[in-house]
Each structure stands twice: as structure tokens, then as C-alpha cells.
Amino acid sequence: MSPRIAQRVAGLKRTLIRELFESAPPDALNLGLGQPDLEPPALLREALARAASEGPSGYGPTAGDGVLRERVAAAYAPFARGAGDAVITVGCQQATFVALGCLLDPGDEVLLPDPAFPGALRAAQTWDAAPRFYPLRAERGFHLDPDEVLDRITPATRALVVITPSNPTGTVEPASSLARLTEETARRGVALLIDDTYRSLYWMGDGDAPGVPAEPLPHVVVCGGLSKSVALTGWRLGWVVSPDAEFMARVVALQQTLLTCAPTPTQRAARVAFTPEGRVAAQSVRAVFRRRRDLVERILGGRPGLRMAPLEGAFYAWIDASAAGGGMAFARRLMTEDKIVVIPGEAFGTSAPDWLRISYAQEDGALAGALETIAARLSSAAGASACGDPPART
């Protein structure tokens, strides 16, 4: 007989993002997966080779390599004060899973954005928490409304999750909104978890995106990593940062239960990302995506009948496909007829089925050609709709 499956995971399956990615033709152009097409900078690859050959290669501390923890904390100063405020994880998604596991009891409510990358939702469901949602509305440029978010807090709410820069919308929450949420969650005894994976890919200024507070507030938890900033997706290098010592002790304990420690060689190599040379390498990665962001703006921006969210951060364009039958119908058409993979809005929640996510983590020439195809199809669909032809929905 087959073993009985626990109810908490009985409904879990691959995300729609992965389903589309893995079902795409081998020669399709992938504008779906949130993965840089770039190789990690040479100095990081060389550092990993040294770490693997020179060692040590045994278990490391459960909380992570001490030097790396110190450097991660320094990147978040003054919110983080030292190595004790950082734990190294196997990517940001595992960081989110551990952090929510230390915040939520079964039945506790957690407020999540919609649309949003489903990592926090899946973690909350696995921990038997009760997800509730606050919308990112088109009429607000897919930015959260602090008043609306705060109105959804109930006595059962234990945590509020904010993803900024946003995956999938590519928008960035302004510092004023984050400050309001930070102040009010502290007053109401609710943890504020900020996912800032894309913090360095910020197009509204020269530095990092607004995010963590400028003081060590114990109710704030940050989850991040190096997957996007220096293209280390496969290295799985992330972190949890919080100035609350008791919370971080629980994170370390849960981390030990899950995986003992993050891989030792990748941690030692990742130290280099926080050196002056590593920051120069990160700027070169940022420059590539800034150039591609501008390419998206040139091709898609201002097209008649084509609407998209502001291109403020990350490497995503969030496009309205309602004239073409909605996100799923248009995504299927692009995959079938044009061999272009994009992700429909329903992969990120229930609030934006007419929208779709385009990742501009692809080589410039191929990206430009795909964007021209997408723009032409959407403009044609919008023109047909204006003439009274209803869009085909599937």
C-alpha cells in the first residue's frame, strides 16, 4: 500500500511557472523563468574553484560562515549590527520558509501581496498557517496601499510579507509606504517580513531599492540572497537578517533540522561578492539589466493599446494581455505559435489573470525580437477589440 500523504502537502504541486518552463519546446526563447542568462562574474567562479580545491569542505556552522555573515550584516547596517543578526540559507526561498516557520503557528494569519511570487504562500500553507491577501492594483501602478493593507490586519495576523522590488510586477514600494507599514506593524505586534531579493536591481536611483529600516527594529525580518544581483541562482545562497536575538536563535535551530548548514564552498566563495571587486562585478550585472530595461521601455512603452506596470526594478515587465484573451490564452499562443515562453498572471495569484510577466533576462538581440513579436500581437489584438471583435479566451 502507498503511504498516507500528510494533509498539509496533499495539495502542493509544481508551480505554474515551473510547469510552463518545463513543458516548453527545447528551442523556445524563455522569457518566463526568473533566472539571469549571465554567468556569475569571473572572480566569484574563481573563488568557488579555490574554495572547492583548498577547503575546508566539511560541515560548517549551522548559522553560516562567520565572515560571510559579518559581510551580509554590514550590507544591511545599521538595521543589522553584526554577524549574529544574519543566518546564511540555501537561497531566499529557503530563507522565507524558515523565517515563516519561526513566526507562524497553525491557524495564524499571514498577509501576502497579490500578485506575488508564490514562495511565501507555499511556505505559509506548508506551516498550516492561514494566508490572506492584500491587492496590488493596476490603478495604483501595482503599488500597495498602506491603509488598505493595515485594514486587513486582524487579531489573528502574525506576519505581513512585502516583496520589493516586486516579482512579478517589477515595481518598487516607496520608502514612505514601507515606513508606514514598519511603524504600524510594530505598534500592532505583527512581524514585517521584507523579501528584497532584487534590491540591487533598482531603476529609480543609483543605490539599492528602499527596504529595511535605518535602525535595528526587532519585529522586522529580511530575506534576500545573491541569485539575482550576481547571477548565482544555482549556487543557492541566501540569508535571513533580523536584529532580534531570540528569533534568530530559533531560525538557527530550524535550519539545523532542515539542512544542517548551507554548502561550505559556496559560502566561502560568496564572501567575494561583498568586497570592492565584488561590488564592481555586481554593478556590471546591474548595467546589463538596466540596458535591457531601457530596451523594454523603447519597444513596449507608449504602444497604442499596450499597458504595462512601471519598470522600476527587478528584471520583469508586467503586461496587460486582456485584449488578447487574458494572460493564459496569450501565453499559450506565444508558446505554440512563436516559441516564446512568458508567465500568465494567474501563476501569481487571483487578482490579475489578464496580465502576464515577461522576464528580460535574455540576450539583447533575441529579447528585442521577442518583444517586437509580443508588441505586434498585442497591438493587433487591441485593434481588433476596438473594432468590436471579442478576444478569444481559453
- The 10s digit of each residue's pLDDT in 68-116 is 999 999 999 999 999 999 999 999 999 999 999 999 999 999 999 999 9
Going by C-alpha positions, the residue among 69, 383, 122, 394 that lies closest to residue 251 is: 69
How does residue 394 score in pLDDT terms, banded at 50, 70 and 90? very low
Cell numbers describing residue 157: 495576523
**Domain match, 238 and 335 both:** no
Rounded to whole angstroms, the Cα distance separating 371 from 239 reads 34
pTM over 0.75: yes
77 φ, ψ (degrees, to nearest 5):
-65, 145
Tell how strand 316-320 and strand 340-341 pair up.
unpaired
What pLDDT shows up at residue 55? 83
- Residue 108 domain-assigned (yes or no): yes
Going by C-alpha positions, the residue among 152, 107, 154 that lies closest to residue 127 is: 107
DSSP symbol at 129: -
**Range 4-12 average pLDDT:** 77
Find the CATH number of the domain harbouring 32. Answer: 3.90.1150.10
**Range 219-248 average pLDDT:** 97
What burial class does residue 186 get, using C-beta atoms within 10 Å of its C-beta: 0-12 exposed, 13-18 middle, 19+ buried?
middle
- Residue 385 domain-assigned (yes or no): no
The contacts of residue 177 (CB under 8 Å, 6+ apart) are 143, 144, 146
Grid cell 503557528 — which residue?
105
Give the 3-state DSSP-derived string for 298-352, with helices as H, strands as E and coil as C: HHHCCCCCCCECCCCECCEEEEECHHHCCHHHHHHHHHHHHCEECEEHHHHCCCC
Question: How many domains does the chain divide into?
Answer: 2
Rounded to whole angstroms, the Cα distance separating 102 from 359 reads 32
DSSP symbol at 230: S
**pLDDT over 70 (residue 21):** no
Write down which residue in 275, 308, 332 finishes a domain. 275
**pLDDT over 90 (residue 56):** no
- Residue 388 domain-assigned (yes or no): no
**Domain match, 22 and 51 both:** no
**Domain match, 85 and 131 both:** yes
**Range 303-322 average pLDDT:** 95
**Range 226-255 average pLDDT:** 97
The contacts of residue 102 (CB under 8 Å, 6+ apart) are 247, 250, 251, 254
Rounded to whole angstroms, the Cα distance separating 190 from 218 reads 11
Write down which residue in 207, 242, 275 finishes a domain. 275
- Residue 392 domain-assigned (yes or no): no
- Distance, first Cα to last Cα, the chain: 39
How does residue 300 score in pLDDT terms, banded at 50, 70 and 90? very high
Rounded to whole angstroms, the Cα distance separating 315 from 321 reads 19
Pure H helices in the chain: 7-10, 16-23, 42-54, 66-75, 91-101, 119-126, 146-151, 175-188, 245-259, 264-270, 276-300, 327-333, 364-386
Cell numbers describing residue 61: 556552522
- Residue 355 domain-assigned (yes or no): yes
**Domain match, 106 and 230 both:** yes
**Domain match, 46 and 36 both:** no
Which H or E run contains 87? strand 86-89
**Domain match, 169 and 267 both:** yes
Q: Identify whether the C-beta of residue 254 lies closer than 8 Å to the C-beta of residue 102.
A: yes
Going by C-alpha positions, the residue among 167, 263, 308, 178 that lies closest to residue 224 is: 167
- Residue 393 domain-assigned (yes or no): no
What pLDDT shows up at residue 9? 77
Rounded to 10°, the helix 91-101/119-126 angle is 40
- For a pLDDT cut of 70, what percent of the chain falls above it? 96
Across 144-225, the runs of DSSP E, i.e. the strands, are 157-163, 191-195, 220-225
How does residue 386 score in pLDDT terms, banded at 50, 70 and 90? low
The C-alpha torsion from 378 through 383 and 389 to 394, rounded to 10°, is 0
Rounded to whole angstroms, the Cα distance separating 232 from 385 reads 43
**Domain match, 225 and 287 both:** no
Find the CATH number of the domain harbouring 148. Answer: 3.40.640.10
Domain that holds residue 299: 9-40+278-377
- Residue 177 domain-assigned (yes or no): yes
What pLDDT shows up at residue 370? 97
306 φ, ψ (degrees, to nearest 5):
-115, 120
Residue-wise pLDDT for 145-183, tens only, equals 999 999 999 999 999 999 999 999 999 999 999 999 999
Going by C-alpha positions, the residue among 191, 144, 187 that lies closest to residue 163 is: 144
**Domain match, 49 and 130 both:** yes
**Domain match, 294 and 163 both:** no
**Domain match, 89 and 177 both:** yes
- Residue 4 domain-assigned (yes or no): no
